[in-house]
Structure 1
Amino acid sequence: MTDFYTLIASLPALPSHFDVERPPISRRQLAERLGQLSPEDAATVRQLADFFDWDRQPLDRTDAQIARELGRLQAVQHPLVLRIIRHRLDVRIVVSALRRRRDGHAEPVPIGDLGETIRRHWSDPTFGLGGRQPWIEPFARFMAAGEVVQAQRTLFDHTWRQWRRLSTEFTFSLEAVILYLARWEIIHRWTSRDAEAGRTRFDTMIQDTLGDHANLCL
């Protein structure tokens, strides 16, 4: 059994917002702390970490690739890990649809829980999702204006607020660790944008999000 009191007590507190100069703990140090997890808990956390690795790859994710990743969710048993992965995939599906519409393409083949809604509301600025997904309108506006960093900040801020709010419901548990990792990942990705060593990865992340339009804005 994992001693979550000892593990969580060893993790430095996360800031109130992701917009900081550096993460409060390095990736190496975080990995060392996670070595306290039991094999079963470590396997659960690995599923989330593997998805983050996929999500960070400097490749343009096609609808087919996203659909394949959705298919892999059958192997995810923990409800919170599943929720985090589904959220990020939903974001990718919406962003992909925004890019397709911006570039004058036809409606995408419906994939994921949002796919059919997007298809039916293709001409609506927020695909009929504005109430449930408030980040879409400002993201689309920043994307159209070429404000790449603000567009990315909008995505991160939306997700950060969700996981920070949810984290107040858990203390010394696996869920608390999972939400810590989900928020640490946002901080890490945001702070990496200014590091010389992380510049290429940030550029490809923006390319992944905004497509060819990013080349005109960076």
Structure 2
Amino acid sequence: MSDPDAYVALVSSLPSSERLFVAKRPPLSRLRLDRRLSALTETHARTLARIEHLLSWSAYDPGSDLGTLVGRAKELMADLPYRTLRRIVDERMELRTAVAALRMRHGGAKPPETDWGYGVWTSQIAANWGEPAFGLERSLPWLRQAGQLLERGDPLGLQRHLLDVTFRQLQRHAGRHHFDFEAVVIYVLKWNIFDRWAKADSVAAAQRFTELSEDALKNFPHLQAEGATA
């Protein structure tokens, strides 16, 4: 059993964040966050670690293994007694499955077999493979734009869109939890979104700087030659 007063103190110690895509970095470092999370019970700490591991944003990269994630999600759900956290896992894994379907179709794959992903939409996705949003415009209204960004070849835009969708989902759940374990998990998952965007934005900024520098040097070929001999 956790100490309610300890969790009130923990949540109260967590700084609020600026709006997503406005803040340049998370509101505190991971080291400082982990120090605060030491107030969690051992059971809660293990549960949080499993949720973070499952919902890591690296799992959204094109090369990730959806089957492994689905198996891990089912194992977690069998041990997860918190209704809100179960819903969060469901929403994220359903999003992950739909995005995986977009990537598969974009790569020229045929409709997958049923029971290939996670959640309630797998059969409908396979049955409506040729539809832009797999016929899920009303149930997953964010999906059409995700598909457009993928087809357009805009990975940063796609990542921003998915982060925004997920952040809004967490915000809805946060309104029902304030000083309990669920509130802590929601905060950490939101922290991970800020961290993911900060890293993606910094990489994109560095790439844009390199491209602009290369474009500028085209007008000064003698500088390129000097750089080559340096």
What range describes the TM-score normalised by the shorter chain of this pair? 0.7 to 0.9
> By how many angstroms is 1:59 displaced?
7.2
Match of 2:194 among 178, 187, 192: 187
Per the alignment, residue 122 of structure 2 pairs with 115
Do the aligned partners of residues 23 and 63 (structure 1) sit closer, same or farther apart at CA in structure 2, a change above 3 Å counting? closer
CA separation in 1, counterparts of 2:21 and 2:87?
20
Check whether the contact 2:156–2:200 (CA below 8 A) recurs between aligned residues.
Answer: no
Structure 1 stretches of 5 or more lacking a match?
200-218
Paired amino acid for 1:36: A
Alignment counterpart, residue 94 of structure 1, candidates 83, 95, 98 = 98
Cα distance between partner residues in 2 of 1:63 and 1:47? 17
* Cα distance change on mapping 1:19 and 1:149 into 2, 3 Å: farther
Comparing 15-24 and 57-66, the one that deviates more: 57-66
Alpha-carbon distance in structure 2 between the residues aligned to 1:130 and 1:94: 12
User: Does the CA contact (< 8 Å) of 1:8 and 1:172 recur in 2?
Assistant: yes
TM-score by length of 1: 0.81
The residue number in structure 2 matching 1:31 is 34
Query: Residues 176-215 of structure 1: matches in 2 within 5 Å?
Result: 176-195=183-202
* Residue 208 of structure 1: aligned partner: none
CA RMSD of aligned residues (A): 2.1
The answer on whether the counterparts of 1:118 and 1:128 sit within 8 Å (CA) in structure 2 is yes
Greater CA drift, 80-89 or 178-187:
80-89
TM-score under structure 2 length normalisation: 0.77
Mapped pair 1:14 → 2:17: yes
Cα distance, 1:59–1:119 mapped onto 2, change above 3 Å = closer
Return the letter of the residue paired with 1:62. D
- Structure 1 equivalent of residue 58 of structure 2: 56
- Which of the two has higher C-alpha Rg? 2
Q: Within 1, Cα distance between the matches of 2:68 and 2:33?
A: 29
User: Which SS does the other structure have where 2:200 is aligned?
Assistant: coil
Question: 4+ residue runs of structure 1 moved beyond 3 angstroms?
Answer: none
Q: 1:112 is aligned with what amino acid? A: Y
Deviations 1:155-214 (A, max 9, x none): 011111111122122211111111111111100111012446xx8xxxxxxxxxxxxxxx
Contact 1:23 1:188 in 2 (8 A): yes
Q: State the AA in 2 paired with 1:7.
A: L
